A and B are shown apart, each in its own frame.
Chain A
């Protein structure tokens, strides 16, 4: 991994532009946090902005831009695993299980 991109140096300007984009995406996520919109829509949009940030960091800062297979694996494998874990746990939250957490 650490040896594969010696010939593909990323310029400081690219890092600077990436940094600016990350700040823009952070501002967008912050705005979504306060936006008076449906919670499901907010969750979906936050997932989108978060994934966009992860992709930018992985592609530019972690140099995976030049290793597309690793970039794809890094993005989608955790997503698929998360969906599987959610699928196992979230049915438990339906129905009458709210007694598990007490509210003072």
Chain B
């Protein structure tokens, strides 16, 4: 069931990214993202999400090895990673809005530039927030001794999927 959800959600993100590609292609000009965004922050966010994904994989390993305490520790670290990512994203959004970016217009010219930013990173950020909530529930249940390795693994699959989506967003929205 988790895989069906992941594939359907992947197609939603694919639709967003292809629509973004369409807008890029159709637009006569497009702002240089590496000059608009704080790439140090974006790279740090990528580092945090990749690291949290690695720790999540270790949490699944610990759950499978019947080490619930270790699994809870790894889950807690993954949650911290997710919260750091969300904090950075909130900072990035605030900064971008303060610079004049809106859904309908922005100082860099093409209206779709900011609109696609809010849509794609917002949708992804909402997934990260959902992931943090799911992982918190799984961690709490594990701490209470009500954990199942399959439950941890499903939460892990969702978290890795969020990481995979960010890899695409990082490459195609921020770098290309």
Contact = CB atoms under 8 A, between A and B. Distances in A.
B26 interface: yes
A74 B164 CA distance: 12
A30 B50 CA distance: 15
A58 B34 contact: no
Contacts of A23: 47, 50
Contact of A26 (B27, B43, B60): B43
Contact of B109 (A1, A85, A103): A103
Interface residues of A, number: 49
Contacts of A104: 105, 109, 111
A36 B62 CA distance: 45
B153 A33 contact: no
Interface in B152-166: 153-154, 156-157, 160, 163-164
Contacts of B61: 9-10, 12, 15
A92 B22 contact: yes
Contact of A50 (B21, B50, B163, B167): B167
A56 to B, nearest CB: 10
B65 A26 contact: no
Interface in A1-53: 1-3, 6, 9-10, 12, 15-16, 18-19, 22-23, 26, 29-30, 32-34, 42-43, 46-47, 49-50, 53
Given A101-B23, A103-B28, A57 B171 contact: no
Contacts of A32: 175
Given A6-B64, A93-B26, A101-B27, A1 B2 contact: yes
20 contacts: A2-B150, A9-B64, A10-B61, A15-B58, A19-B50, A19-B54, A26-B50, A46-B172, A50-B172, A61-B160, A62-B160, A78-B14, A82-B18, A85-B18, A90-B25, A92-B22, A101-B28, A103-B27, A103-B29, A104-B105
Given A62-B160, A98-B27, 12 more contacts: A2-B2, A9-B64, A16-B54, A29-B170, A30-B175, A33-B175, A50-B167, A54-B164, A58-B160, A78-B14, A104-B109, A104-B111
Interface of B: 2-3, 10-11, 14-15, 18, 21-23, 25-29, 34, 39, 43, 46-47, 50-51, 53-54, 56-58, 60-61, 64-65, 105, 109-112, 149-150, 153-154, 156-157, 160, 163-164, 167-168, 170-172, 174-176
Interface of A: 1-3, 6, 9-10, 12, 15-16, 18-19, 22-23, 26, 29-30, 32-34, 42-43, 46-47, 49-50, 53-54, 57-58, 60-63, 78, 81-82, 85-86, 89-90, 92-93, 97-98, 100-104
